[in-house]
Amino acid sequence: MLVKTDVVYLQNALNKLLSIIDKRNTRPILTQILFKVKNNKIELIATDLEVSAKIVINAIVEEEGIFCANSKNIHDIIKELPKNQVSLQLTNNTLDIQCDEVYYSLVVSSSEEYPTLAFPAYDHSIKMPARILSDIINRTSFAISTDETRLFLNGIYLQEIDSKLRAVATDGHRLAMYETSLEELNNTYLINGIIVPAKGIFELKKISETFADEDINIHIDESFIFVFVKDLYYISIRLIARDYPKYQEVIPNKTSFSMIVDRDLFLDAVKRIKIMSSEKSHGVKMELKKNMMVIAANHPSLGHATENVPVEYDDEVFQIGFNAKYLIDTFSALDSGEIILEFNNIFKPVIIRSAHLPDFLGIIMPLKL
């Protein structure tokens, strides 16, 4: 096998694939990247059997071939090469890598043990602008649970509701829900709802950022979501085979109090006051009075802090506690402008809405301080 390509193409592909590799995997072959060299292309494939990706780059192929290379070794070598053309030549189990005056001889493996993976490019797929997919992920992914004992919460729930794509993420302490209108969304599996795992969400975020001005093609079946852009980038993600909790039940039907605050003023204030909060709870207290909110935190060994933030509020004096990190995560997912907080009491979920983003709804559980 003999092939030449641009170092930058190879670097970018390896950078994207490295996050898929599970370095703790007990199967050595899954710590490798599969290279398929043919038709003036190099296909690079990585998998942990839950998330798989294939990236195709242009090349000058003088002789076709296929091999596996340790992901860390090949990545470390390629990232240090001069930004020029690189030559890869395979002889038996040795890959000769040459770029300008730099030469490596890397021991590689046979591809025989590498799992057979499917990256189908379906004709009948959902087309979604990459910027919309990125928006969906950025508005909701912060609320994904990291508790591995509650697998059904370790991803984003996608469901078709009234011809809209609804995305929901929750960890039991906060929730983010965002809806998007899409044409030709009709999909049996989306109507019933699917859960895309967090690792897959991270890979979808990368593909949406890489092809920000392109359409992304999505196909869903009983067990997988397949995503591809042109003939360049393919992702296969195994769905979480669990039922998602009835998240609608935590959304209050009505609230007793509401407050309007400027997103940037509030976010900056919470970041400042959080410095004096407990490292464990990140607790901050909010006291609402007429057109004013006082945000405070008290650290037993460091001291305390308060800040006054102007708000639109004209009801009884009200105190409530929050995990500052949850507030920061939620407000960071929203655009600048007016944010509405709706309360019932110090024990009930608080609703967060954006005046400029009507299709978003956030929920945060209060914190007892």
Domain boundary (47, 77, 107) is at: 107
Give tens-digit pLDDT for 237-267. 999 999 999 999 999 999 999 999 999 999 9
Long-range contacts of 121-126 (CB under 8 A, 24+ apart): 121/217, 121/228, 121/231, 121/234, 122/217, 122/219, 122/226, 124/219, 125/217, 125/218, 125/219, 125/226, 126/182, 126/184, 126/185, 126/187, 126/217, 126/218, 126/219, 126/220
Asked whether residue 317 is domain-assigned, the answer is yes
Q: Are residues 235 and 262 in the same domain?
A: no
Identify whether the C-beta of residue 255 lies closer than 8 Å to the C-beta of residue 244. no
Q: From 48, 72, 107, give the residue that closes a domain.
A: 107
Residue 311 Cα distances to 249, 263, 293, 296, 339, angstroms = 29, 11, 6, 16, 10
Taking each continuous run of H as one helix and of E as one strand, the counts in the chain are 7, 25
Cβ distance 170 to 146 under 8 Å?
Answer: no
| Structure tokens belonging to residue 139 | 């508005």
* Residue ranges, the chain, pLDDT below 70: 123, 184-186
At 187, phi and psi to the nearest 5? -150, 125
Residues 145 and 100 in one domain: no
Does 369 fall in a domain? no
Q: Which helix (H) or strand (E) holds 44?
A: strand 41-47
Whether 145 is in a domain gets the answer yes
Do 73 and 21 lie in a common domain? Answer: yes
Residue 114 lies in a domain: no
Q: Do 194 and 293 fall into the same domain?
A: no
Residue with tokens 């405070």: 296
Q: Do residues 290 and 218 share a domain?
A: no
Give yes or no: residues 7 and 89 share one domain.
Answer: yes
**Residue 147: Cβ-neighbour burial (10 angstroms; 0-12, 13-18, 19+):** exposed
pTM attached to this predicted model? 0.94
Asked if the structure places residue 89 within a domain, the reply is yes
- pLDDT value of residue 28: 92
* CATH code for the domain of 139: 3.10.150.10
What backbone phi and psi angles, to 5 degrees, belong to 286? -115, 125
Residue 208's domain comprises 126-248
Using H for helix, E for strand and C for coil, what is the string for 290-304?
CCEEEEEEEECCCEE
Look at strands 357-364 and 318-323 and give their pairing. unpaired
Q: Answer yes or no: do 215 and 275 share one domain.
A: no
Same domain, yes or no, for 335 and 352? Answer: yes
In a domain, residue 84? The reply is yes
Domains held by the chain: number: 3
Regarding whether 244 and 133 lie in a shared domain, the answer is yes
Residue 334 belongs to some domain of the structure: yes
Distance between CA atoms of 121 and 123, rounded to whole angstroms? 7
- Return the pLDDT at 186: 64
Q: Residue 229 corresponds to which amino acid?
A: V
How far is it, in rounded angstroms, from Cα 191 to Cα 161?
7
Identify whether residues 38 and 81 lie together within a single domain: yes
- DSSP H or E run through 80: none
**Six token digits for residue 162:** 């009234």
Identify whether residues 166 and 259 lie together within a single domain. no
> Of 107, 138, 161, which residue sits at a domain end?
107
pLDDT computed for residue 137 by the predictor: 98
Helix or strand (DSSP H, E) at 196: strand 194-197
242 and 256, same domain (yes or no): no
Say if 299 falls within a structural domain.
yes
